[in-house]
Structure 1
Amino acid sequence: MAVSDLQLVVNTLLYFSIFVCGFVISIPLGVANTEASATCLLYSTITVSDFSTRPTINFSRRANCNFPIYVSVVGCIFYALGMGIYNLYTIYKSQRDPPVVSQMYVLPIILNTLGAFLMFICSCIISVGFKQFCDSLMDKPYKYFRCSRAQALDIVADGGKQTGSLKHFYTNINITQTASWICTLCWVLLVVSGIIRFVRDRRHQIRPRQDLDHGAIIEEEIDTEAHHEALSKVVEESSSETTSKMYDPLPVLEGAMRNPLPWFETMWKIVNV
């Protein structure tokens, strides 16, 4: 495979990495929500009224969990999969038509920038919401030294109507958080790679135009010099002909040999004067 297609291969691998991250983000977060009575644990808080009773969890809005799930499904799974397949097709097609690679970077740069921005927001939502929930678990009076130790905690939810445990919330959300930041990094690498490739292709397109313009200027200068040389030769020839006509003594001598009388009269007058 040509070295010029190496960047396209790397981009394809990044797209498929984002595709895998989409599942790793959405599935564990969805499982954590299901185990928490189909609500969202991000930004939730734990309150304890009495040491003898179970802690009460105040769930946050479901949008805090639904937004990262939707972005990971639409942007990371569907879009990244489509772009990965498209890049594979482009790699195959570039073996016969190499210039096709330089025609596919404008629109993906815009979409990848949007994807990187949305994924960064999702990563921040997950990380900050997870930290806030863990801080409430490790806060007094019901204090855990590590958030992971509260996974088997029995809780009261929905205003005391439901009881249960948090089960594997820490493992699931921690996996989602790690995958979201890895996915964000892949998006950023795609944006940087697309910009570098776009700038490089633009330079390759401008160079032939500059070479053609430079060649045209040189040809024009050569034609101008040739024209000046030809014009100089014509001027020299015409001036030499004029000079020979004005100062050539042969016609005067020939006239004196044929009729010497006017010549001697002229010379006599000059001497007598």
Structure 2
Amino acid sequence: MANGYDIQVVAQALIFFVTVIFGLVVAVPLGMTVVQFDGHCVLYADFQWENSTFATYELSDQIVCNFPVLTFVFTSILYSLGVGLYFLYAACRSNDPNVGFQMWIMPFLLINALILIILFICCCIISVGIKTTCDHILNSRKEGNTLKTCSDAATDFDWNKGKNSDINATHFYSFTKTSEAAGWMTFLIWVVQMALGILRFFRNRQQRSEDMGYGDGEPPKSPASVSDLDNFATVDPTA
């Protein structure tokens, strides 16, 4: 057996580690906004301006922020770290450039596809949530609202006025926008990971066919015989 590393397995491991970094960039800032907003979520907040300096508002329940936070923690951080270490260990421990052909692919492919869908939903929750909040903050010009940008609400609006709360909104806009950008980057990275997984699946199928003597990936065609039909149910699937 030739020595070396399976480049695709190593690349997938490194991509998983990059996903961990972006997962942290999503979860930490968004989670901090929940703490700074006294256990509430700033996404999908509703504003009603009374005059140029005062508005009543309703924040969302913390579950709205906690769902994407926990999703990224378990998928983009914990799962990605574990699978990345497994891939890196398999590549380095075996010192075999063909180790990828010996690894299970279909379970990871199915799990990664499910995670990709969930991450897309979470990214939409964050993006639509911050847009809804900003629209409610800025779409009240007739009541005298003087805020020109959504980020102005972080410093030019008193979030504690008229409320028994201890909200620190200084970084709410930068934190949520950081989580939004990192979330979509994570989603795109996961698309690349899925593409590599699909590529590995078809490469494994092709390698298996070659090992069985089918150079073109397809078994030789011959008329079906009675014995062929009798043994049809005993043939193992290749997928």
Is 1:195 aligned with 2:194? Answer: no
8 Å CA contact 1:54–1:156 kept in 2: the answer is no
Deviation sequence 1:191-233 (CA, Å, 0-9, x none): 111011110110111123244976xxxxxxxxxxxxxxxxxxx
Distance 1:66 1:164 in 2: 18
Counterpart in the other structure of 2:106: 106
1:128-143 equivalent positions in 2, closer than 5 A: 128-140=128-140, 141=143, 142-143=145-146
Q: Distance in 2 between matches of 1:143 and 1:94?
A: 64
Q: Structure 2 unaligned segments of length 5 or more: list them.
A: 221-239
CA distance in 2, matches of 1:50, 1:164: 21
Structure 1 residue 3: deviation in Å?
8.2
| Contact kept? 2:7, 2:97, Cα under 8 Å | no
DSSP 3-state at the match of 1:155 = coil
Equivalent residue, structure 2, for 1:71:
71
Distance 1:47 1:106 in 2: 51
Higher-RCO chain (CA-CA 8 Å, sequence separation at least 6): 2
Displacement of 1:187: 1.1
More helix by share: 1
Change (3 A) 1:164 1:80: closer
Give the alignment's TM-score, normalised by structure 2: 0.80
The residue type paired with residue 200 of structure 2 is R
Aligned pairs for 1:10-29 (under 5 A) are 10-29=11-30
Q: Is the 8 A contact 2:34 2:42 kept in 1?
A: yes
- Superposed, which structure 2 residues align to 1:124-203 within 5 Å? 124-140=124-140, 141=143, 142-152=145-155, 153-156=157-160, 160-162=163-165, 164-203=167-206
Superposition RMSD in Å? 2.3
Question: Could you list the runs of 5+ residues in structure 1 that have no partner in the other structure?
Answer: 215-273
Matching residue of 1:33:
34
Question: 1:112-159 deviations in whole A, cap 9, x for unaligned?
Answer: 1111111111100000000000111111132432111211121247x7
Instruction: Summarize the alignment of residues 237-248 of structure 1 with structure 2, pairs less than 5 Å apart.
Output: none
| Off by >6 Å, runs of 4+ in structure 1 | 1-4
| Structure 2 CA distance for aligned equivalents of residues 46 and 79 of structure 1 | 38
Larger Rg: 1
1:19-73 CA distance string (max 9 Å, x none): 111211111011111111110001112212233x522221112221010011011
Matched-pair identity in %: 31
Partner of 2:231: none
Paired residue secondary structure (1:144) = coil
Deviation at 1:6, TM superposition (A): 1.7
When the two structures are aligned, how many residues end up with a matched partner? Answer: 211
SS in 2 for 1:41: strand
In 2, Cα distance between the equivalents of 1:196 and 1:50?
59
